[in-house]
Amino acid sequence: MKRGDIVEFKVGGRTSGILSRILKFFERDWDRWGWHLGIAYEKSYDGWYIMEATGEGTQTHYYPTWYLEKYTRSYKWFDRVPNKKKMAKFREGYVGKKYDVAVYFWTALQYIIRHYFNRRIPRLLDDRFTCWELVGDFCEYMGKPIQSKYDCPILTDILKELKNG
């Protein structure tokens, strides 16, 4: 893992398990392994600080190496390791933002509209974030967008890009 890598966390918990089963209905090729995303922010002696949006809001949490090896996958999205100062500036603008619970409704609606009407709905620009939105904004800020900033963020779209990119 390197600074700026995107980290996929293994599905854990009842809510993510149920929601991932619903998502699998639309995404037959998805392996359902991960549900949550974060950004490798800073390496420590025996682990990493990961920037992520959780129910507590957008924060940076420490994870030991053993945990990361067992419960995460990391993806190199950028050609070069992102600049530390630029990452710090991004972090300053996002840490403390509230979590966006409403995105689950928009994700479900997005899948219905996309699969039955062949259309996409736009991302609602607001001041609350999910892990998917945080990763999308981070990639945009660092100069290599992972998806259109106007599309409603969906985990499976982001994972496809990470695996192909």
Q: Is the dihedral of CA 82, 84, 85, 90 positive or negative?
A: positive
Contacts of 162 (CB under 8 A, 6+ apart): 6, 8, 75, 77, 146
In whole angstroms, give the CA distance from residue 139 to residue 56.
22
Under 8 Å CB-to-CB from 13, ≥6 apart: which residues?
none
Average pLDDT taken over every residue of the chain:
87
Does the predicted model carry a pTM greater than 0.75? yes
Give pLDDT, residue 125.
57
User: Which DSSP symbol is given to 144?
Assistant: -
Pull the structure tokens for residue 71: 């419960």
Q: CA quadruple 109, 103, 134, 138: dihedral positive or negative? A: positive
Give the model confidence (pLDDT) of 145-164 as tens digits. Answer: 998 877 777 788 899 999 98
What's phi and psi for 74, nearest 5 deg? -120, 150
H helices of 14-83, in order, are: 14-26, 65-71
Instruction: Read off the pLDDT of residues 79-138 as tens digits, 9 standing for 90 and up.
Output: 999 999 999 999 999 999 887 766 666 667 777 777 778 777 776 656 567 888 899 999
Could you tell me where the DSSP H helices lie in the chain? 14-26, 65-71, 84-94, 103-117, 131-141, 155-164
Compute CA distances 85 → 26, 73, 90, 122, 132, whole Å. Answer: 39, 25, 9, 31, 22
